[in-house]
A and B are shown apart, each in its own frame.
Chain A
Amino acid sequence: EPEVTQTPSHQVTQMGQEVILRCVPISNHLYFYWYRQILGQKVEFLVSFYNNEISEKSEIFDDQFSVERPDGSNFTLKIRSTKLEDSAMYFCASLGGREWVQETQYFGPGTRLLVL
């Protein structure tokens, strides 16, 4: 069965450093997402991407965040200058999108980011 993959599985970085989290969504899916889950908290939506541009974003997704689909398969989340509060599990998801009301999103295994 097709699956969403994410790399790395764990990342440790120093405060103020840039990090790039990578995802390979399911091929032929049209919508791509990033969510995050701070330890013990809810899964929170960050951003969705459709037709090579951001389609929705939350208030969490401020100027320090950016997303890119550099080629036909990868989808990346960049955090320019990490803060301690960016420590979380980051999930990538993809959605087929042709009949999205009746489709589920497929989630990757996550990248655990720790900012020191």
Chain B
Amino acid sequence: KQEVTQIPAALSVPEGENLVLNCSFTDSAIYNLQWFRQDPGKGLTSLLLIQSSQREQTSGRLNASLDKSSGRSTLYIAASQPGDSATYLCAVNQAGTALIFGKGTTLSVSS
């Protein structure tokens, strides 16, 4: 059964720092991996999607990498801002279209 784990569970950084969030999954047979952002009490907003054949995707200050063989993905956030404070969720598409989520990393960026 696929398990998705995210480390760390929480992270606090000062504004301007570059940071890395980690995601690992137990079964490498995935179609894609997605990163979402969740603000308190809100829905999920898609950030990046990496297909299984891809190694990385970039959007603005965000860069996500995928190493399918080792079951790992990282989300790199450059020059963090207070507005980046949120919970970041990693999810994989394994069988069908349903997503399997990790528990998330809660990021706090202080000004």
Residues of A within 8 A of B (CB): 4, 31, 33, 35, 41-45, 48, 55-56, 58, 91, 93, 95, 97, 100-110, 112
> Can you report 19 residue pairs joining A to B where beta carbons are below 8 Å apart?
A42-B103, A43-B89, A43-B99, A44-B101, A48-B98, A55-B96, A55-B97, A56-B98, A91-B43, A93-B44, A100-B97, A101-B31, A102-B32, A104-B46, A105-B46, A105-B97, A107-B36, A110-B41, A110-B42
Write out the residue numbers on chain A whose beta carbons fall within 8 Å of the beta carbon of B41: 110, 112
Does the CB pair B101–A107 fall under 8 Å? no
Does the CB pair A102–B51 fall under 8 Å? yes
Does the CB pair B98–A107 fall under 8 Å? no
Number of A-B contacts (CB under 8 A): 62
Write out the residue numbers on chain A whose beta carbons fall within 8 Å of the beta carbon of B45: 107
Residues of B within 8 A of A (CB): 31-32, 34, 36, 41-46, 49, 51, 89, 91, 93, 95-104
| CA A47 to CA B36, docked complex, whole Å | 19
Does the CB pair A43–B44 fall under 8 Å? yes
Write out the residue numbers on chain B whose beta carbons fall within 8 Å of the beta carbon of A100: 97
8 closest A-B pairs by beta carbon, nearest first, are: A104-B46, A107-B44, A43-B101, A107-B43, A45-B98, A109-B43, A56-B96, A42-B103
